[in-house]
Structure formats: structure tokens, C-alpha cells
């Protein structure tokens, strides 16, 4: 039984030939097709076989040069803007980048935290977070909700993530994790796994080198709950070794100098220590620890102390008194008593603590005091000897003060609450006038951001 060849061989194409091509061979027909393609389009198909001819013979026979082959895929730059390493894989489609809500460089502000009805906690200025509803936004949000599992499963990959992804991951953990960011979370993101010897041997993989571009640390709502300032200080600024007194020894051995620990985030400029106003702190927030921590933050330019209590070294001794053994009189135990602000208008302790803070943060340009309206008067008040917060010298670089009440005023709010709310706004404006008056046009122009009254531009 015979079958036609058409059932076994699939014809690729049908070639129409005239009478002049019936006596020509296959090679001659292919050569004619190549010459026709060169003269018509000037380009060969990328998979066509191109015959090579020596340059001297090509000039004698006047054969045109063979065009270069087409690139199989577009050439992609190895580094992005500023020398940043691009992510692996092909470039994103143009349709993804043309939509502003999907753009990865869109600036977002996490205005209201999940579960915090009406309380506003602003993100750090200039912090680039993924666009709302984008793929990266959904991945990071899911990552934060499943963080207890992700921290163990991906423990060998977190340290090698790009810096902007780790910055966003810390911010998402602070915003969406039930307990906020803890020291263990920061260690998993900022430190290499201890059981991988390659990280310990290679100096290029040291934490201070890998975190060189880590400038934003958003810990909003974590301090006082899952994070202590003392633990954070020991993590970011490891204690000095006790093997030798390096300050008095200029001829210290090189191995001793090499053992001096560098800061974990040497380029940190933006820090948020905002408290969560909706839940009581698990650990007491201490201004004493803040002042000690601030001594390491001389390069800080943006700081958020939203919803922090008034500055005091004895927060639990407000009502405590002692009896003087010399005079027998009853004296106030702490620096601030129950009637220091309401009757005596005494803000001496708050002014002195703010002055100590300003001496450590002399590079500050942006200060967020949202929700701190109860101690706004300390920013213009004078201590016993006439000392005030130095807005001309150490804090002369401050150009932005965020002094919003920190919550939304309800429509059915009582008269006392409404008066208290707008009193905070008036105090913020008074601080703006005070700072501008102290600088008298000689320093940087300061702007105070606060709520506006209805109808106010």
C-alpha cells in the first residue's frame, strides 16, 4: 500500500518560478534571493547564512558590505542611576512605568496607621515606598503579615536584598506587623547569618559596608512596645572593645584598630521614633535613654518624636515629695511638679533637656513633634537663668517643624476638647513666630506645619 508524500512531508512554502528558472540549480536560486534581499531592504534575516568575501576582492567586484547582524535582544545597562545595581531579569514593560500609581519612585505617606483611628503618623520625608496597589506593595504587605515565618524561611536571603527593599521592609513591618519592629527583626535584616563563614571572612560583606546606603530607618509605633532605645543603641552602635585605651594610644597595633566596631548604619540621616498613641507602652519611654542615644546621631538630619511625652528625667515622680533634713520643709522630688505648668508656668526642666538634645543633634533640619502639643510652650519658654532652646546656633539648620495636634477633631466634639485642639494650633504658630524672631532674618527660614482653621488658606 502506497501513501503520497504530501501526507508525510509538510510543505514549508510554495515557490513560483517562471520559465527562465527551470534550468537553474538550488544554489543559484538561493544566491538570487540573497542579492534581492540586500538590494531591497539592506538587512538580512538574523538566521541567514552570509557568505564572506575578502575586502580586496569585495572592492574589485564592487560587492556591497554585509550589514551587521541584528541584536537578539536590547542591550540593558548594568547599573542604574547613581551606580545602583539593577535587579536581575528583563526590564519592566513600559506600560508598568507609564502609570504614576504603579511607579516605584512615587513618594507615599502612610498618613494613618492600620488600627489607629484618627491618629496621624507621618512617614519620613523623602522616603520612597512602593506605590499603593502595586505588586511590590502587595508583596511587602504580605511579607510583613507573615513575618514570623518569613524571618526563618528566608533568613539567608534577607541580608542580600537591595538597600531600598530593606528600607521599605522595615517601614512595612513597623506599619503592618502586629507588634512592630523588634531587635531580632532588625538583626535579621541588617546583619548576616552567623552560621555562614563567607560573610565573616569577606570584608566587602561586612555589615557597615552592606548598609552604607541605608539612610532611612522608620520605627514608627515600635519604640516602647517591641523595641527599647537601649537595645537599639547597642545594635546600631556596638560598644567599644575594652582591650586597650585607644584614645590615649596613637601607636595601637593594627589588629586592635581593626577590631573597633563601626556603626551598623554609618550613613543614617532619617530616623522615626514615633510612638503609637493607641496602645499603652509595654516598656517605659525614657528621655534619659533618648539623650544617651542621641550622642551617636550627630549626622541625623530628620527626626520624628511624634506622640512623645514631655521631656523629664523623673516621669513617675510628678506627685512625689521629700522632707528636707535641714529645714524640715516639704520639697518636690522631681524637676516637674503637678502645678509647674498650670500655675507657675515653669518649663525649666523641659527647656534644659531640649537644649541637651540639640547639642547632640546639631545637624537637624526636620523635626516632627506631632501629638506633642502638651509641651509646645517649652520650645519658646525660658529656664531659670533665661536659657531657651537655641534656634540660632545648634538648631539653626532646622527649617521644618511638624507640630500638628495628631488627631482629627470630631464634628460633635465638646467645647473643651475643641478649645484644647485649637490651642495646640495657636501654640504651634507662636513657636513659628518665636523662631523667626530669634533668627531675625539672619538664619534659615523656618516653616511650621500644623492644622488650619476652617476657611484659612
Digit-by-digit pLDDT tens for the chain (457 residues) are: 444 444 444 444 444 445 454 567 888 888 887 777 655 554 445 445 556 778 888 888 888 877 776 665 554 555 554 555 666 677 777 666 554 443 333 333 333 344 334 677 788 898 888 888 889 999 999 999 999 999 999 999 999 899 999 999 999 999 888 888 999 999 999 999 888 888 877 888 889 999 999 999 999 989 988 899 999 999 999 887 665 454 555 555 555 445 567 899 999 999 999 998 887 778 888 999 999 999 999 999 999 999 999 999 886 656 555 555 655 565 554 566 655 666 666 788 899 999 999 999 999 999 999 999 999 999 999 887 778 999 999 999 999 999 999 888 888 888 898 999 999 999 999 999 999 999 987 789 999 999 988 877 6
Pairing assessment for the beta strands 330-332 and 321-323 based on DSSP bridges: antiparallel
In the chain, how many domains are there?
Answer: 2
Residue 214 lies in a domain: yes
Residue 194 lies in a domain: yes
Contacts by residues 181-188 (CB-CB < 8 Å, ≥ 24 positions apart): 181/219, 181/222, 181/226, 181/227, 182/222, 182/226, 182/227, 183/227, 183/228, 183/231, 183/232, 183/235, 184/151, 185/147, 185/151, 186/232, 186/235, 187/235, 188/151, 188/155, 188/158
Residue 271 lies in a domain: yes
Regarding whether 272 and 131 lie in a shared domain, the answer is yes
- pLDDT recorded at residue 235: 95
Residue 147 lies in a domain: yes
Burial of 336 (0-12, 13-18, 19+ CB in 10 A): buried
Residue 270 lies in a domain: yes
SS3 120: strand
- pLDDT recorded at residue 64: 80
Regarding whether 141 and 38 lie in a shared domain, the answer is no
Residue 138 lies in a domain: yes
- Of 232, 260, 282, the position where a domain reaches its end is 282
Regarding whether 110 and 48 lie in a shared domain, the answer is no
Residue 191 lies in a domain: yes
Regarding whether 132 and 51 lie in a shared domain, the answer is no
Regarding whether 169 and 262 lie in a shared domain, the answer is yes
Pairing assessment for the beta strands 330-332 and 447-449 based on DSSP bridges: unpaired
Regarding whether 168 and 56 lie in a shared domain, the answer is no
Regarding whether 38 and 164 lie in a shared domain, the answer is no
Residue 427 lies in a domain: no
Regarding whether 45 and 141 lie in a shared domain, the answer is no
Regarding whether 112 and 59 lie in a shared domain, the answer is no
pTM here?
0.71
Quote the CA–CA distance of 346 and 382 in Å, as a whole number: 9
Look at the block and give the residue holding cell 527551470.
Answer: 22
- Of 239, 264, 282, the position where a domain reaches its end is 282
Regarding whether 136 and 36 lie in a shared domain, the answer is no
Residue 201 lies in domain: 105-282
Closest CA to 285 of 293, 367, 271, 366: 293
Amino acid at each position: 500500500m502506497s501513501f503520497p508524500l504530501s501526507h508525510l512531508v509538510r510543505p514549508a512554502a510554495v515557490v513560483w518560478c517562471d520559465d527562465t528558472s527551470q534550468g537553474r540549480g538550488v544554489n543559484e536560486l538561493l544566491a538570487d534571493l540573497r542579492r534581492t534581499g540586500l538590494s531591497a531592504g539592506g538587512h538580512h534575516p538574523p538566521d541567514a547564512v552570509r557568505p564572506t568575501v575578502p575586502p580586496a576582492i569585495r572592492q574589485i567586484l564592487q560587492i556591497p558590505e554585509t550589514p551587521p547582524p541584528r541584536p537578539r535582544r536590547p542591550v540593558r545597562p548594568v547599573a542604574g542611576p547613581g551606580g545602583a545595581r539593577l535587579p536581575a531579569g528583563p526590564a519592566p514593560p513600559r506600560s508598568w512605568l507609564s502609570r504614576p500609581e504603579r511607579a516605584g519612585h512615587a513618594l507615599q505617606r502612610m498618613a494613618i496607621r492600620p488600627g489607629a483611628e484618627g491618629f496621624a503618623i507621618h512617614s519620613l520625608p523623602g522616603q520612597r515606598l512602593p506605590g499603593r496597589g502595586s505588586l511590590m506593595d502587595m508583596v511587602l504587605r504580605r511579607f510583613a503579615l507573615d513575618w514570623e515565618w518569613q524571618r526563618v524561611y528566608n533568613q539567608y536571603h534577607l541580608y542580600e536584598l537591595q538597600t531600598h527593599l530593606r528600607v521599605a521592609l522595615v517601614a512595612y513591618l513597623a506599619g503592618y506587623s502586629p507588634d512592630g519592629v523588634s531587635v531580632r527583626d532588625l538583626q535579621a535584616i541588617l546583619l548576616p547569618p552567623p552560621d555562614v563563614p563567607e560573610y565573616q571572612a569577606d570584608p566587602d560583606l561586612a555589615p557597615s559596608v552592606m548598609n552604607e546606603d541605608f539612610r532611612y530607618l522608620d520605627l514608627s509605633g515600635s519604640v516602647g512596645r517591641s523595641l527599647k532605645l537601649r537595645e537599639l543603641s547597642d545594635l546600631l552602635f556596638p560598644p567599644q572593645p575594652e582591650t586597650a585605651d585607644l584614645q590615649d594610644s596613637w601607636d595601637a597595633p593594627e589588629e586592635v584598630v581593626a577590631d573597633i566596631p563601626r556603626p551598623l548604619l554609618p550613613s543614617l540621616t532619617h530616623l522615626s521614633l514615633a510612638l503609637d498613641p493607641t496602645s499603652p507602652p509595654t516598656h517605659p519611654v525614657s528621655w534619659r535613654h533618648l539623650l544617651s542615644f542621641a550622642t551617636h546621631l550627630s549626622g541625623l538630619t530628620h527626626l520624628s518624636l511624634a506622640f512623645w511625652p514631655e521631656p523629664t528625667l523623673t516621669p513617675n515622680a510628678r506627685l512625689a515629695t521629700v522632707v528636707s533634713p535641714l529645714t524640715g520643709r516639704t520639697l518636690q522630688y522631681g524637676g516637674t511638679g503637678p502645678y509647674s505648668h498650670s500655675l507657675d508656668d515653669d518649663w525649666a526642666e523641659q527647656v534644659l533637656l531640649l537644649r541637651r538634645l540639640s547639642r547632640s543633634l546639631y545637624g537637624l533640619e526636620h523635626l516632627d513633634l506631632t501629638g506633642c502639643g502638651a509641651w509646645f510652650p517649652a520650645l519658646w519658654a525660658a529656664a531659670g537663668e533665661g536659657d531657651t532652646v537655641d534656634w540660632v546656633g545648634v538648631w539653626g539648620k532646622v527649617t521644618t517643624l511638624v507640630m500638628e495636634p495628631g488627631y482629627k477633631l470630631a464634628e460633635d466634639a465638646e467645647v473643651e476638647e475643641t478649645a484644647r485642639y485649637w490651642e495646640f494650633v495657636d501654640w504651634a504658630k507662636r513657636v513659628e513666630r518665636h523662631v523667626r524672631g530669634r533668627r531675625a532674618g539672619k538664619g534659615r527660614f523656618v516653616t511650621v506645619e500644623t492644622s488650619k482653621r476652617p476657611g484659612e488658606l
